[in-house]
Amino acid sequence: MSVSSIATAFARASSARKWHSHAVFGRLTSILSLLFLAAACDAPPAPLTSVPLEFAGSETCRECHAPQFGLWQQSHHALAMQQATPDTVLGDFSGVDFRYGDNVSTFFTRDGKFMVRTDNKDGELEEFVVSFTFGVTPLQQYLVQMEDGRVQSLTIAWDSRSRADGGQRWYHLYPDEIIGHDDPLHWKRAELELHVRRVPFDGSAQELRPG
Ligand code: HEC
């Protein structure tokens, strides 16, 4: 690729601009970039391969970023969002009831899963599997993954402070007003949807897989 042919292409691009045709000019601009690339190196540019996008997981960062990985692992950031397991759940899921307005929600376990029976979008009690923990201190919130992939944040949270500090209890994030099932702030509604939309979740995978 000679410099003069690049110049010719550039001249064509300039006249294309005069036609006020954005489509043609845009195409010439990309051709120009390719010409510059071709002129810069003798070998033809390697074809672009498409790598499938998938969640790499934090472990994959360790090999190249060992000190940062160590610091991160000891920080609360590493605990920000975890699969709900006996190791990560701080709240009392031993069948305890929590009253809010006219509803009584119950936190319990079944078949090793952490569950909540609470009011659904229609105001009726329904059972949900708690999928993730969110945060550790001074409170821990719980996330429920819906069948369509949405992740909703429960508005009843666990006060993880010590008993002496008034903690170790369930409480509602909106204690002074009763949020009904038709309120935008109800936990099943859009306001309480995690801002990771439509996260595909493979139940067998131990990690969240953002899509
Ligand atoms: C194969 C080695 C390798 C792996 C694996 C790797 N990185 Fe990197 N990363 C690098 C290199 C090299 C740089 C550039 C460092 C520089 O410019 O000083 C970098 C830079 C970064 C930066 C920018 C730092 C800055 O100062 O701007 C971030 C953030 C980062 N990596 C995060 C990650 C995360 C998160 C993962 C895991 C998902 C990861 N890296 C996995 C090699 C790697």
26 pairs with which residues across the strands?
none
Domain count along the chain: 2
pLDDT at 8: 39
Domain match, 160 and 88 both? yes
For residue 151, being part of any structural domain is answered with: yes
Tell me if 119 is assigned to some domain: yes
Residue position matching structure tokens 């010409």: 35
What average pLDDT does the structure give for the chain? 78
Question: What are the two backbone dihedrals, phi and then psi, of residue 80, each rounded to the nearest 5 degrees?
Answer: -60, -45
In a domain, 69, yes or no: no
pLDDT (tens digit per residue) in 40-73? 556 667 666 777 778 788 999 999 999 999 999 9
Q: What is the pTM of this model?
A: 0.67
The answer to the question of residue 72 being in a domain is no
The string of pLDDT tens digits covering residues 107-144 is 999 999 999 999 998 989 999 999 999 999 999 999 99
Q: 189: helix, coil or strand?
A: coil
| Distance, C-alpha 95 to centroid of its chain | 29
User: What is the reported pLDDT for 74?
Assistant: 95
Tell whether ligand 1 has an atom less than 6 A from the beta carbon of residue 48. Answer: no
Give the per-residue pLDDT at 10. Answer: 39
- Asked whether the beta carbons of 143 and 134 are under 8 A apart, the reply is yes
Residue 154 lies in a domain: yes
Mutating to test ligand 1, I would choose from 61, 63, 71, 207 the residue with most ligand atoms within 8 A of its C-beta, which is 61
Continuous segment of H or E residues that includes residue 119:
strand 113-119
**Three-state DSSP class for residue 170:** strand
Question: Phi first, then psi: what are they for 41, rounded to 5°?
Answer: -135, 150
Judge if 90 and 187 occupy the same domain.
yes
Q: What is the domain extent for residue 165?
A: 77-192
Tens of pLDDT, residues 15-43: 434 433 344 344 444 544 544 444 555 66
